Amino acid sequence: MENDPIVRFKALLTQAEQLGIQLHNAAALATAGADRQPTARMVLLKDVDERGFVFYTNLESRKARQLSANPLASACFWWAPLQSQVRIEGRVELVSDQEADEYFACRPRGSQIGAWASHQSSVLPSREELIATVAALTADYEGRTVPRPPFWSGYRLVPECIEFWKERPERLHQRELYTRLASGWKITLLAP
């Protein structure tokens, strides 16, 4: 058993990618705002290191508003061919402007324009309005670098606990919980 859950997670993520699992970096992210109503949606993991798990979003989206009111979240990765799941719980923090700028700069141009065009989670009067906004922005930025919008950045989910779940016969699944302590990670086996 690996003592470092980040190393262990990265190995699973690499395995999922090598198997050709579509969207191997997709996770269900659960948040809850001041009203305590949990909501979940899929996000794409864009970076992971000893500091945590990074995803990007519009800072005016519902998830961002919830994270502003309650900076706690949970993410769940599921890879069916690996019969494995990883759950992460912890607090969130914004990534640095430099990290957000660097990631935004490497996104496809269409995604950069889309970040400016979409007021994520707001009511959209019509699809045609969105398409027209994209066309106008595409023309405005013709021949120029698309800068990162001030309302677009990333969050880092800083794990307090990480659970690895592995399917086993007769529902005797293997569950290992890593809990962050000041001295490192405590590993606990959980009943299936």
Instruction: Give me the active site residues, please.
Output: 171
* List of residues 6+ apart from 87 with CB closer than 8 A: 74, 75, 76, 77, 162, 163, 165
Residues facing residue 49 across a β-bridge:
52
Listed as own residue / partner, the contacts of 130-135 with beta carbons closer than 8 Å and 24 or more positions apart are: none
Residue 98 CA to its chain's centroid (Å): 18
| Contact present, 147 and 115 (Cβ < 8 Å) | no
Cβ of 48: how many Cβ atoms within 10 Å? 18
